[in-house]
Amino acid sequence: QVQLQQSGPGLLRPSQTLSLTCVISGDSVSSNSAAWSWIRQSPSRGLEWLARTYYRSKWNYDYAVSVRGRITISPDTSKNQFSLQLNSVTPEDTAVYYCARISFNTTPVWGQGTMVSVSS
Amino acid sequence: DIVMTQSPDSLAVSLGERATINCKSSQSVFHYSDNKNYVVWYQQKAEQPPKLLIYWASTRESGVPDRFSGSGSGTDFTLTISSLQAEDVAVYYCQQHYSTPLTFGGGTKVEIK
Cα A25 to its chain centre, rounded Å, is 16
Query: Tell me, what DSSP letter sits at residue B26?
Result: S
Mean model confidence pLDDT for chain A:
96
How far B66 CA sits from the closest chain A CA (Å)?
18
Contact check, Cβ <8 Å, B97/A107: no
Strand, coil or helix: A48 = strand
* Cα–Cα distance measured from residue A1 to residue A26, given in angstroms and rounded to the nearest whole number: 6
CA distance A46 to chain B (A): 7
DSSP state letter for B33: T
Chains A, B: CB contacts under 8 A, how many?
Answer: 49
Read off the pLDDT of residues A35-44 as tens digits, 9 standing for 90 and up: 999 999 999 9
Which tens digits make up the pLDDT trace of A60-113?
999 999 999 999 999 999 999 999 999 999 999 999 999 999 988 889 999 999
pLDDT digits 0-9 by tens, B48-71? 999 999 999 999 999 999 999 999
Chain B residues near residue A47 by CB distance under 8 angstroms: 50, 93, 95, 104, 107
- Give the mean model confidence (pLDDT) for residues A15-41: 97
Distance, in Å, from the CA atom of A90 to the CA atom of A51, rounded to the nearest integer, reads 18
Between the CA atoms of A23, A105, B55 and A102, what dihedral angle is there, to the nearest 10 degrees? 30
Tens of pLDDT, residues B7-62: 999 999 999 999 999 999 999 999 999 999 999 999 999 999 999 999 999 999 99
Residues linked to residue A54 through DSSP beta bridges, in sequence order:
A60
